[in-house]
Amino acid sequence: MALVAIVAALCGVALLLAIVWITRQVDPSGPQGELVGDVVIEPGTSRDGIADVLAERGVITNAALFRSHAQITGGGPWEAGRYVNFRSNSSFDEAAAVLDEGPLPPDARVVRIPEGTNLGGILQIIEQSIPGVTAADLLAALGSGQVTSKYRPDEVSNWEGFFFPDTYEFAVDATPVQILQTLADRNDEILDSLDFDRAEALQGRSAYDLIKVASLIEREAGEPPEERGQIARVIYNRLDTDEILGIDASNLYGLGRTAGELTAADLAVESPYNLRLNRGLPPTPIASPGKASLEGAIRAPVGDWLYYVLVSNDPPSHFFTASAEEFERVAQESRDRGVF
């Protein structure tokens, strides 16, 4: 009897492990990853073949299980063509939803805006993606007053931070106003979903200030998802104690750059974006933040952190502390290890 019980227990454990493994294949832990680019389903590709393509591109984790899932749920048949909205680390349902939407129309123009792109970069991407639309046309559209956003304060003329980074599809004859309004509407939609209309009640700051904070997070955060909220809390704690933020991503923006080392001369430049010289937030956002950074800004966790320092480049990650002494010690350790 004891042997039977042991065998039964082992079988139960094996079954449990199998269920956990299958569940993780069907719905991987963690958020979806980055867009994987164009995924082309050739004409005549079967449902089984589509599963193989998605697994090869890293959209799903297991082609065989996806095939079984599709059979059970009645997924497909799916159309051949070019798909642009697949993301890595997708659940089977998320991947199937993209397939259900169908491929791009043959004459569609695709605009991909990466998270953390600034306004100049966005206009350049649109210009490169849609023939006949120039950056000058887009600037004229912005100056026309025809593009609107419910979250852009009336007194603010700058459009930085109000175009959501995402993948968009446009007809070949889309106008500059239509293109930019689509991006602005998507941004408003995301902000609404995160309760930015209640920013003052939730964080005691305006929605515009929270967009500025989210843009700083977007340019500063490492890979761990919890860092976005932690960086927001560092910013709020420093603002509340009237301490200099010292965030060099803003300095770079003021210098017209997005990366690179800052020299002593750079750090001495009299710019409102120089957060080593000026207290408070920059006058505008410094980039277009993604949803995770926006969420970090409005749902920052409770914490006493005042400092963060890069401790790894692979993957990028930071150490957070409330102690200046501990910050200095860890920063020196990172320098000694060549992290920066």
SS3 state at 109:
strand
- In angstroms, the CA 315 to CA 5 distance is 45
Catalogue all structural domains in the chain, each as residue range(s) with its CATH number.
Answer: 23-101 (3.30.1490.480), 109-193 (no CATH), 207-336 (no CATH)
- In angstroms, the CA 128 to CA 102 distance is 25
* 3-state secondary structure labels for all residues of 233-295: HHHHHHHHCCCCCCCHHHHHHHCCCCCCCCCHHHHCCCCCCCCCCCCCCCCCCCCCCCHHHHH
pTM score of the predicted model: 0.82
φ/ψ of residue 322, rounded to 5: -100, -5
Which residue, 205, 274, 211, 283, is CA-closest to 246? 274
Angle 331-337-340 from CA coordinates, rounded to 5°: 60
- In angstroms, the CA 298 to CA 308 distance is 19
- In angstroms, the CA 86 to CA 53 distance is 12
Q: Between the CA of residue 240 and those of 46, 279, 290, 304, what are the distances in Å?
A: 59, 11, 25, 11
Please answer whether residues 45 and 80 qualify as being in contact, where contact means their C-beta atoms are separated by less than 8 angstroms.
yes
Residue 228 confidence (pLDDT): 97
SS3 state at 37:
coil
- In angstroms, the CA 109 to CA 172 distance is 6
What would the DSSP string read from start to end of 154-170?
TT----TT-S--SEEEE
Which residue, 190, 236, 197, is CA-closest to 213? 236
pLDDT digit string (tens) for the chain, length 340 residues:
555 556 555 556 555 665 666 777 888 877 788 888 889 999 999 989 999 999 999 999 999 999 999 989 888 889 999 898 899 999 999 999 999 989 988 888 999 999 999 999 999 999 999 999 999 999 999 999 999 999 999 999 999 999 999 999 998 899 999 999 999 999 999 999 999 999 999 999 999 999 999 999 999 999 999 999 999 999 999 999 999 999 999 999 999 999 888 999 999 999 999 999 999 999 999 999 999 999 999 999 999 999 999 999 989 999 999 999 999 999 999 999 988 8
- In angstroms, the CA 179 to CA 165 distance is 13
Tokens of 181: 């309004």
Q: Please provide the distance, in angstroms rounded to a whole number, between the alpha carbons at the two ends of the chain.
A: 63
Matching residue, tokens 């750059």: 257
- In angstroms, the CA 307 to CA 234 distance is 6
Matching residue, tokens 């259900």: 100
Range 199-229 burial, b when 16+ CB lie within 10 A, else e: beebbebebbbbbbbbbbbbbbbbeeeebbb
Helix axis angle, 119-129 to 135-143, nearest 10°:
120
- In angstroms, the CA 186 to CA 242 distance is 34
E strand or H helix that includes residue 333: helix 324-336
- In angstroms, the CA 151 to CA 297 distance is 15
Please answer whether residues 311 and 318 qualify as being in contact, where contact means their C-beta atoms are separated by less than 8 angstroms.
yes
- In angstroms, the CA 165 to CA 289 distance is 7
